[in-house]
Amino acid sequence: MKGISESMNRLIQKAEKKQHNNLLKLLEEFVGESAALNGVVTFDNDQFQSPLPIEHERVDNLFKSVGEGLLYAYLVKETLNREAVYVNIRRATATLWHDVEENCKWLETTLERSAYEEKNSKNPKDVIRLGSACKEKTQKNLRHIINLFAQSAEKILNEFNKSTNGEVEKENLPRKVIAANSMYRITKTILNTYESNDLDIVEDELFTRLSGMIADILVACLTNIPRAIAMMCHESVIEIREASVAAAIDLLGRTTKIIEKLERHVPNMDQDKMTYIDEWRIHLRQP
């Protein structure tokens, strides 16, 4: 047993050198000592059922953070959410993120900034105008971009509904439809937040808002890492148990700092409910 323990410790120490610093930086920036994780509630709105020009470095860092976070989220979901509907969602996420990384597109809609500048500026001089006219133009442009994604997602959903009459089980939904449903609800929620509170859409503020929501959602998911590691170590199938334990050890080493940071954010919830975002939202809405 002593020999096994020393071997495991060496593997953990080796994995600890592979921490994902971009993800840690995102969590440190947006998740404080007494984080309320409001982003878990505000990123979506039940009312809606159905690439913005920020500094390159900030966008690049957020992009890397999301990629790192999705890696761990995938492992958590793979271990703790094995129902068919969640397997389908997990695969849809992987497909969608691959398209974002490789083609800079979200549901066949480009994320390239230049595409929106060309569509929304007939006169190049408009881009450098100063004062209130320039501010108003930026506001309209941001609303246009968000609306564009909402309309693109809605089109996919409407076409799917027409072709199936809504007679498809959740676990059999096409990956594109899963992504479109999420995009539609999130974009409509963003627009509703600004319009219902009579707020201007300020580019920097919107980017910060989105970053905070992403960080909060990742926190909710990654608090499940210790439980996922424990389950990986108790794999019942003998043929894959050794590989599963080795993967658990590697995951523990890679996420040691994340686990330490998130320990204080573990809520007083049933463990079985902590792997479902809707259960988190119900919990956080309670007074």
Q: What is the per-residue pLDDT across 204-217, written as a single tens digit (0 to 9) for each? A: 888 888 998 898 88
Domain boundaries, the chain: 2-285
Residue 188: Cβ-neighbour burial (10 angstroms; 0-12, 13-18, 19+): buried
In this prediction, residue 105 carries a pLDDT of: 87
Q: Two tokens at 144?
A: 């246009």
Residue 200 has pLDDT above 70, yes or no: yes
Average confidence (pLDDT) over 187-196: 90
Beta strands in the chain (DSSP E): 105-106, 109-110
The whole-number pLDDT of residue 135 equals 55
- Residue 11, phi then psi, degrees to nearest 5: -65, -40
Calpha distance 262→69 (Å, rounded): 14
Among 7-21, 126-140, 142-156, 202-216, which is the least confidently predicted range? 126-140
pLDDT for 104-123, tens place per residue? 888 888 888 777 764 444 44
Backbone phi, then psi, for 275, in 5-degree steps? Answer: -90, 5
pTM, to two decimals = 0.74
The answer, yes or no, to whether residue 1 has pLDDT greater than 60, is no
pLDDT tens digit string along 47-73?
554 433 466 788 888 888 898 899 899
Q: Which residues share a beta bridge with 103?
A: none
Contact, 146 vs 190, CB < 8 A?
yes
- pLDDT band for position 45 (50/70/90)? low
